[in-house]
Amino acid sequence: MKTIVLGAAAALSLTTAAALADANAANPMVGGAEMFAEKNIIENAVNSPIHTTLVAAVTAADLVETLQGPGPFTVFAPTDKAFGMVSEESLNALLLPENKAQLQQVLTCHVVAGDVMSDALKGMIDADGGSYPITTVGGCVLQGTYSGDTFTLTDENGREATVTTADVKQSNGVIHVIDRVLLPRQ
């Protein structure tokens, strides 16, 4: 996993001076909980009342240590409601120890190596004519688009997720809260 993350980091080194200048700005609330820029992705996710399923999945996939690491990582974080759109049977099956590799792939399709703030993503989308291919550490390619202030990610199956809360700064990257679970090509 670390090799994949390091290789992808070279492809997406997107920390900008503007993003660094904003590092001390107030973070958005997530699910009514305060998010702290000095805490890492896992520490903040554990405190989010709308990411309990994501935290359970990351734990079952043995990705906690990775997402506590230095990063930087951009995580498109599905809410509990987003996971609720997945059938209970499918979700329970994914959480079984024998399906850990599949769960890891699903989760890493929500992670990008690099610190991709919404301003940087908007710039890439504009420079690419209105849609930008975002390669994840899980090998998925998400198409990023936006209209006004609304960002949409489309997975390789045509499933669309909307970013509901952008730019939640972390000590090791950024979280963008999304309203749907994205999947690898099926």
Q: Which tens digit of pLDDT belongs to each residue from 47-74?
A: 999 999 999 999 999 999 999 999 999 9
What type of residue sits at position 15?
T
**Range with the lowest mean pLDDT among 3-17, 21-35, 103-117, 160-174?**
3-17
183 in any annotated domain: no
Domain count of the chain?
A: 1
Domain holding 119, by residue range, is 2-178
Helix (H), strand (E) at residue 156: none
184 in any annotated domain: no
pTM to 2 decimal places: 0.85
What share of the chain has pLDDT > 90, as a percent?
84
pLDDT digits (tens, 9 = 90+) for 105-138: 999 999 999 999 999 999 999 999 999 999 999 9
Average pLDDT of the chain to the nearest whole number: 88
pLDDT given at position 30: 95
Pairwise CA distance, residues 144 & 138, whole Å: 16
- The three-class DSSP label of residue 115 is coil
78 in any annotated domain: yes
pLDDT digits (tens, 9 = 90+) for 70-87: 999 999 999 999 999 999
Q: Residue 128 phi/psi, 5° resolution?
A: -100, 15
CATH code of the domain covering residue 141: 2.30.180.10
pLDDT given at position 26: 83
185 in any annotated domain: no
Q: Report which of residues 22 and 67 the model is more confident about.
A: 67
Those residues whose C-beta lies under 8 Å from the C-beta of residue 66, and which sit 6 or more positions away, are 1, 2, 5
Least Cα distance to 118 among 82, 146, 160, 158 occurs for 146
What type of residue sits at position 97?
P
43 in any annotated domain: yes
